[in-house]
Amino acid sequence: MDKEKRIVLTGFMGVGKSTVARFLASLLKCEKIDLDAFTEQAERRTIAEIIHTEGEAHYRKIETENLRRVLSNNKAQIIALGGGAWTIEENRRLIKEQNFTTVWLESSFEHCWRNIRLSKRERPLAANKQQALRLFDERQRFYCLADWHFIIKPDLSSFEIARKIAEEIFSMKFN
Protein backbone atom coordinates (compact mmCIF):
# COMPACT_ATOMS: atom_id res chain seq x y z
CA MET A 1 0.00 0.00 0.00
CA ASP A 2 1.28 3.42 -0.95
CA LYS A 3 0.96 5.03 2.44
CA GLU A 4 2.93 8.11 1.62
CA LYS A 5 0.63 9.53 -1.02
CA ARG A 6 -1.16 12.74 -0.03
CA ILE A 7 -4.34 13.63 -1.84
CA VAL A 8 -6.55 16.63 -2.47
CA LEU A 9 -10.21 16.12 -3.34
CA THR A 10 -11.81 18.58 -5.70
CA GLY A 11 -15.14 18.80 -7.52
CA PHE A 12 -18.28 20.86 -7.66
CA MET A 13 -20.34 21.90 -4.63
CA GLY A 14 -22.58 19.12 -3.40
CA VAL A 15 -20.57 16.28 -4.91
CA GLY A 16 -19.59 15.01 -1.45
CA LYS A 17 -15.92 15.95 -1.06
CA SER A 18 -16.08 16.43 2.73
CA THR A 19 -17.89 13.18 3.41
CA VAL A 20 -15.66 11.16 1.08
CA ALA A 21 -12.59 12.73 2.75
CA ARG A 22 -13.90 11.67 6.17
CA PHE A 23 -14.46 8.04 5.11
CA LEU A 24 -11.16 7.92 3.27
CA ALA A 25 -9.26 9.20 6.29
CA SER A 26 -10.92 6.57 8.44
CA LEU A 27 -10.07 3.77 5.94
CA LEU A 28 -6.46 4.93 5.69
CA LYS A 29 -6.25 5.74 9.39
CA CYS A 30 -4.80 9.14 8.62
CA GLU A 31 -5.65 12.77 9.20
CA LYS A 32 -7.79 14.89 6.93
CA ILE A 33 -8.51 18.58 6.73
CA ASP A 34 -11.58 20.17 5.24
CA LEU A 35 -10.52 23.52 3.79
CA ASP A 36 -13.96 25.15 4.22
CA ALA A 37 -14.20 24.11 7.88
CA PHE A 38 -10.59 25.15 8.49
CA THR A 39 -11.26 28.58 6.95
CA GLU A 40 -14.43 29.10 8.98
CA GLN A 41 -12.60 28.22 12.17
CA ALA A 42 -9.62 30.41 11.38
CA GLU A 43 -11.83 33.35 10.39
CA ARG A 44 -14.41 32.75 13.14
CA ARG A 45 -17.28 33.29 10.73
CA THR A 46 -18.95 31.33 8.00
CA ILE A 47 -17.84 31.41 4.38
CA ALA A 48 -21.30 32.74 3.49
CA GLU A 49 -20.73 35.68 5.86
CA ILE A 50 -17.34 36.43 4.31
CA ILE A 51 -18.73 36.35 0.77
CA HIS A 52 -21.80 38.42 1.68
CA THR A 53 -19.84 41.11 3.48
CA GLU A 54 -16.56 41.25 1.55
CA GLY A 55 -17.33 39.69 -1.79
CA GLU A 56 -16.01 36.63 -3.60
CA ALA A 57 -12.65 38.13 -4.65
CA HIS A 58 -11.72 38.83 -1.04
CA TYR A 59 -12.93 35.41 0.03
CA ARG A 60 -10.60 33.81 -2.57
CA LYS A 61 -7.62 35.58 -1.01
CA ILE A 62 -8.59 34.28 2.42
CA GLU A 63 -9.11 30.81 0.95
CA THR A 64 -5.63 30.80 -0.64
CA GLU A 65 -4.00 31.89 2.62
CA ASN A 66 -5.74 29.10 4.49
CA LEU A 67 -4.89 26.59 1.77
CA ARG A 68 -1.24 27.54 2.22
CA ARG A 69 -1.50 26.83 5.93
CA VAL A 70 -3.32 23.55 5.41
CA LEU A 71 -0.78 22.34 2.84
CA SER A 72 2.10 23.10 5.15
CA ASN A 73 0.58 20.92 7.88
CA ASN A 74 2.49 17.74 7.18
CA LYS A 75 0.15 15.61 9.23
CA ALA A 76 -2.83 16.03 6.92
CA GLN A 77 -2.75 13.36 4.25
CA ILE A 78 -6.20 14.07 2.82
CA ILE A 79 -7.50 17.54 2.06
CA ALA A 80 -11.03 18.31 0.87
CA LEU A 81 -11.15 21.62 -1.02
CA GLY A 82 -14.11 23.96 -1.41
CA GLY A 83 -15.58 23.70 -4.90
CA GLY A 84 -13.93 26.87 -6.24
CA ALA A 85 -10.43 26.45 -4.81
CA TRP A 86 -9.04 24.29 -7.62
CA THR A 87 -10.19 26.81 -10.25
CA ILE A 88 -7.61 29.34 -9.00
CA GLU A 89 -4.24 29.02 -10.71
CA GLU A 90 -2.21 29.94 -7.65
CA ASN A 91 -3.97 27.28 -5.59
CA ARG A 92 -3.23 24.62 -8.21
CA ARG A 93 0.42 25.67 -8.18
CA LEU A 94 0.62 25.46 -4.38
CA ILE A 95 -0.98 22.02 -4.39
CA LYS A 96 1.37 20.70 -7.07
CA GLU A 97 4.41 22.21 -5.36
CA GLN A 98 3.63 20.09 -2.31
CA ASN A 99 3.33 16.96 -4.47
CA PHE A 100 -0.29 16.24 -3.70
CA THR A 101 -2.21 13.91 -6.00
CA THR A 102 -5.44 15.61 -7.04
CA VAL A 103 -8.68 13.71 -7.36
CA TRP A 104 -11.72 15.10 -9.14
CA LEU A 105 -15.02 13.75 -7.91
CA GLU A 106 -16.90 14.13 -11.15
CA SER A 107 -20.66 13.93 -11.31
CA SER A 108 -23.68 15.25 -13.12
CA PHE A 109 -24.99 18.72 -12.36
CA GLU A 110 -28.36 17.30 -11.28
CA HIS A 111 -26.70 15.13 -8.65
CA CYS A 112 -24.80 18.10 -7.19
CA TRP A 113 -27.81 20.37 -7.36
CA ARG A 114 -29.98 17.87 -5.49
CA ASN A 115 -27.40 17.73 -2.68
CA ILE A 116 -27.00 21.53 -2.64
CA ARG A 117 -30.76 21.91 -2.23
CA LEU A 118 -31.00 19.26 0.49
CA SER A 119 -28.04 20.64 2.44
CA LYS A 120 -28.50 23.07 5.32
CA ARG A 121 -25.27 24.89 4.41
CA GLU A 122 -25.67 28.18 2.68
CA ARG A 123 -23.76 28.35 -0.61
CA PRO A 124 -23.87 31.97 -1.75
CA LEU A 125 -22.40 31.19 -5.17
CA ALA A 126 -25.12 28.67 -5.92
CA ALA A 127 -28.13 30.67 -4.79
CA ASN A 128 -30.27 29.40 -7.65
CA LYS A 129 -30.15 26.63 -10.23
CA GLN A 130 -29.21 28.88 -13.13
CA GLN A 131 -26.26 30.42 -11.32
CA ALA A 132 -25.06 27.01 -10.13
CA LEU A 133 -25.33 25.49 -13.60
CA ARG A 134 -23.34 28.32 -15.16
CA LEU A 135 -20.54 27.83 -12.61
CA PHE A 136 -20.68 24.07 -13.08
CA ASP A 137 -20.19 24.43 -16.84
CA GLU A 138 -17.43 27.03 -16.52
CA ARG A 139 -15.45 24.92 -14.11
CA GLN A 140 -15.28 21.61 -15.94
CA ARG A 141 -12.12 22.69 -17.76
CA PHE A 142 -10.34 23.28 -14.45
CA TYR A 143 -11.52 20.12 -12.72
CA CYS A 144 -10.28 18.22 -15.79
CA LEU A 145 -6.73 19.20 -14.83
CA ALA A 146 -6.82 16.93 -11.76
CA ASP A 147 -4.62 13.82 -11.82
CA TRP A 148 -7.47 11.36 -11.24
CA HIS A 149 -11.11 11.52 -12.28
CA PHE A 150 -13.63 9.47 -10.33
CA ILE A 151 -17.09 9.37 -11.86
CA ILE A 152 -19.66 9.57 -9.09
CA LYS A 153 -22.75 7.60 -9.96
CA PRO A 154 -25.77 8.59 -7.87
CA ASP A 155 -26.21 5.01 -6.58
CA LEU A 156 -22.72 4.94 -5.04
CA SER A 157 -22.52 5.90 -1.37
CA SER A 158 -19.76 8.19 -0.11
CA PHE A 159 -18.27 5.20 1.70
CA GLU A 160 -18.14 3.18 -1.52
CA ILE A 161 -16.46 6.09 -3.32
CA ALA A 162 -13.87 6.36 -0.53
CA ARG A 163 -13.25 2.61 -0.81
CA LYS A 164 -12.71 2.84 -4.58
CA ILE A 165 -10.23 5.67 -4.10
CA ALA A 166 -8.42 3.67 -1.41
CA GLU A 167 -8.26 0.65 -3.74
CA GLU A 168 -7.19 2.48 -6.86
CA ILE A 169 -4.91 5.18 -5.54
CA PHE A 170 -3.59 3.60 -2.37
CA SER A 171 -3.72 -0.02 -3.62
CA MET A 172 -5.63 -1.07 -0.50
CA LYS A 173 -7.21 -4.52 -0.66
CA PHE A 174 -10.70 -5.21 0.61
CA ASN A 175 -12.30 -8.66 0.47
Binding site for ligand S3P (CB under 6 A): 13, 17, 36, 47, 82-84, 123, 125
* Nearest to ligand S3P of 13, 103 (CB atom): 13
Burial degree of 55 (CB within 10 A; 0-12, 13-18, 19+):
exposed
Closest separation in Å from C-beta 122 to ligand S3P: 8
**Separation between Cα atoms, residue 10 and residue 105, nearest integer Å:** 6
Closest residue by beta carbon to ligand S3P: 82
Contact 117/111 with Cβ under 8 angstroms? no
* Nearest to ligand S3P of 85, 165 (CB atom): 85
The rounded Cα 167 to chain-centroid distance in angstroms is: 19
* Nearest to ligand S3P of 111, 172 (CB atom): 111
Please tell me what DSSP assigns to residue 34. Answer: E
Closest separation in Å from C-beta 36 to ligand S3P: 5
